[in-house]
Structure 1
Amino acid sequence: MAYQQPALPYADNALEPHISAKTIGFHYGKHHAAYVNNYNNLVAGTPFDSMSIEEVICATAGDAQKIGVFNNGAQAWNHSFYWNCLSANGGGKPSGELAAKIDGDFGSFDKFVEELKAAAATQFGSGWAWLVLDNGTLKVVKTGNAQTPLTSGQTPLLCVDVWEHAYYLDYQNRRPDYVAATIENLLNWTFAEENYQSAK
């Protein structure tokens, strides 16, 4: 039951000028595809082959003997999620229940943005910054390398990829500029709202 890399929900150039078609081509076409292929090769013929990728991620988390399966599976899943967090018509502010929840849990939307930008900018090395629902409360968390909130019982609503391959062709070492451009112009609040409604 091989894991299929989902098709991008937009054209390679749809996120320009904030993320270039060249970056999408390498990021989706090379990096993400490699995680998917490696994961499928590692689980083929094992008991993991009949499990969902989410079940495999949770089953292998923290198991040093299964680190290859976890890293490739979690990165495959994280990237599939990340592409849906972006939209050419994104950015701005959420509306409805999620907007009210952000105001309630963070104090204001601006305070949430500050926290997400800080988490993304200060994640040491490669990793991710996330908006998650944790036991009914919205939180910003960051994870290193392939780590994912799935293994902590948290429900991801949105994420920003801060691995260098997500931004280096466009922004070089200016990660904060990439993070700001992504949050302000590309975040898909419709997707976040759908995740929130499913999880609450």
Structure 2
Amino acid sequence: MENNTYPYVNLPLPYELNALEPYIDTKTMEIHYGRQLPAYINTLNALLKDFPELQSLTLEELIAISEDLYQDGLQVPVQNFAGGVYNHRFYFNGMAPPTNLSPRGILFEMVESQYGNYNSFKEVFKFEGMKVFGSGYVWLVYDNGILRIITTPNQNNPIAKGFCPIFALDVWEHAYFLKHYNLRANYIEDWFRVINWEQATKNYLECVNQQKDIEMQKRSKKKLQSKKL
């Protein structure tokens, strides 16, 4: 993800605002991407302006340390606004113009293997999405070799809990109310039609590689400790 440190800007979408029609409507995209995301970006920049020690951190690093910032009164603001920028970017980049092609690839194969089939996966994901009370997100994450479907409230992010995100569904009402009104279930069904499986697979492979790097670092650390003993 480019522009991953302060000051943040609103990056271009990988598709036109009307490209997700008829599943995600143009007007929602104009407001969601064109107005709401910039508001998060502007607030995050203003928040970090007086904290140069935080300006060199990436969004992921800010999110990862957010729970340690309570003494400075920054814990919730960083969760809300660093999370808000990351989550929106991740959500928007996780979609693509609809096609008639069926999902495929190593991630899709793992989804089917772990959940039995794609329809079962969709049912579980939708069930979790319907359970979110108020505002939040549904995530597919990688966790030590397995996939998990988790939810987070508001703009909280799974990185803070040690999970690696693969794709995300925004279930704040502003993400779907203009087209789907209060029918979140219909929105979720439509969102399945615009998942960017190519990008999700790249995210998955990055998660796998990150986990391998962590395991290698752990093994190297153990070897060094054993030599000292």
The alignment partner of 1:140 has SS state of strand
1:186 aligns with 2:190: no
Partner deviation per Cα, 1:50-107 (whole Å, 9 max, x = no partner): 2111111111137542111221110110000001111113586432321221122212
Corresponding residue for residue 52 of structure 1: 58
Q: How does 1:163-174 map to 2 (within 5 A)?
A: 163-174=172-183
Residue 3 (str. 1) matches residue 12 (str. 2): no
Matches within 5 A, 1:84-163: 84-89=93-98, 93-163=102-172
Unaligned segments of structure 2, at least 5 residues: 1-5, 209-229
* Runs of 4+ in structure 1 over 2 Å off: 61-64, 89-94
The residue type paired with residue 179 of structure 2 is D
Pick from 17, 39, 42: which aligns with 1:12? 17
What SS is found at the alignment partner of 1:34? helix
Asked if structure 1 preserves the Cα contact closer than 8 Å seen for 2:140 and 2:150, the reply is yes
Counterpart Cα distance in 1 of 2:56 and 2:169: 30
Identity among equivalent positions (%) equals 35
Which of 1 and 2 has greater Rg? 2
Deviates more, 1:2-11 or 1:141-150: 2-11
Cα RMSD over matched residues? 1.5
For structure 1, the residue ranges without an aligned partner over 5 or more in a row are none
Q: Which residue of 2 aligns with 1:28?
A: 33
Whose RCO is larger (CA < 8 A, sep 6+)? 1
TM-score w.r.t. the length of structure 2 is 0.82
TM-score normalised by structure 1 residue count:
0.94
Q: Secondary structure at the match of 2:169?
A: strand
Closer/same/farther in 2, CA of residues 93 and 149 from structure 1, 3 Å limit: farther
Aligned length: 199
